[in-house]
Amino acid sequence: MKNIRIGHLYGNLMNTYGDNGNLLMLQHYAKEAGYQVETTIVSLGDDFLAEDFDLLFFGGGQDYEQKIVSQDLPRIRDEIASFIENDGVMLTICGGFQLLGQYYINAAGDRLEGMNILPHYTERQIDSRFIGDIEIYDEENDQTYYGFENHNGVTHLGSELKPLGRVIIGNGNNGVDQTEGVHYKNTFGSYFHGPLLVRNEWLARHIVDLAIQNK
């Protein structure tokens, strides 16, 4: 059987709110398409070559784990940047999405450096979090996505980046501009836990298809 190789970035540290369910969905649709999935956790200090993977997944995490992870990121940053530029398929959720950008100011006010691969940045809310059901509309693909968000961070995409979708219900990136997540080339970011792909079958199939096309 043919293989899809998934690199699960910091999967032992960044795995909150059932985010790993995304991997089960990818496995399910890959199998349907005749592919076996091989998942490897890439964590602190591990050797990493992006070319060893067809798909990268970077899940959410709490501030404590996120701080430890952010300190290890410079090591693998350039590999991930060229993977993304070369149309590699990557899914990032919440804390992973934040660390794809420039920085994240955590709830305690510490600045965690992101990989600065995409130009978004994340600041904090004081004594408040965005928690609840969320619904967004992805105009490019004419799809509505449903999920659950739980984050302190408020993310600003800036003028160049496109969101994954426009908020219909909930807060999304910052509760103000109706953007949710990010979509750049074959890289996706989202605040949806729940997990994202379990509730949004179209997107799960789409991500698997992109990874297969790239092989």
Non-local (6+) Cβ contacts of 177 within 8 A are: 156
28 is known as an active-site residue: no
Query: Looking at beta carbons only, is 11 or 35 nearer to ligand GLN?
Result: 11
Alpha carbon distances (Å) from 138 to 32, 38, 203, 213: 25, 29, 10, 22
Catalytic residue of the set 8, 94, 120, 206: 94
The answer to the question of whether 5 is labelled as a binding residue is no
CA R_g for the chain: 16
- Give the interface with ligand GLN as residue ranges (CB under 6 A): 16, 60-63, 66, 94-95, 150-153
Closest distance between ligand GLN and the C-beta of residue 125, in Å?
9
Bridge partners, 180 (sequence order): 165
> How many angstroms separate the CA atoms of 23 and 4, rounded?
12
94 is known as an active-site residue: yes
Contact status, residue 98 vs residue 153, Cβ threshold 8 Å: yes
Query: Looking at beta carbons only, is 150 or 214 nearer to ligand GLN?
Result: 150
Query: In terms of Cα–Cα distance, which of 115, 123, 104, 91 is closest to 64?
Result: 104
Closest distance between ligand GLN and the C-beta of residue 57, in Å?
13
Query: In terms of Cα–Cα distance, which of 117, 65, 74 is closest to 95?
Result: 65
Burial class of residue 139, CB neighbours in 10 A (0-12, 13-18, 19+)? exposed
Closest distance between ligand GLN and the C-beta of residue 93, in Å?
7
Query: Looking at beta carbons only, is 7 or 95 nearer to ligand GLN?
Result: 95
Residue nearest to ligand GLN as judged by C-beta position: 60
Catalytic residue of the set 120, 151, 193, 206: 193
Closest distance between ligand GLN and the C-beta of residue 1, in Å?
33
Binding site, by residue number, is 129
Catalytic residue list? 94, 193
Binding site for substrate, by residue number, is 129
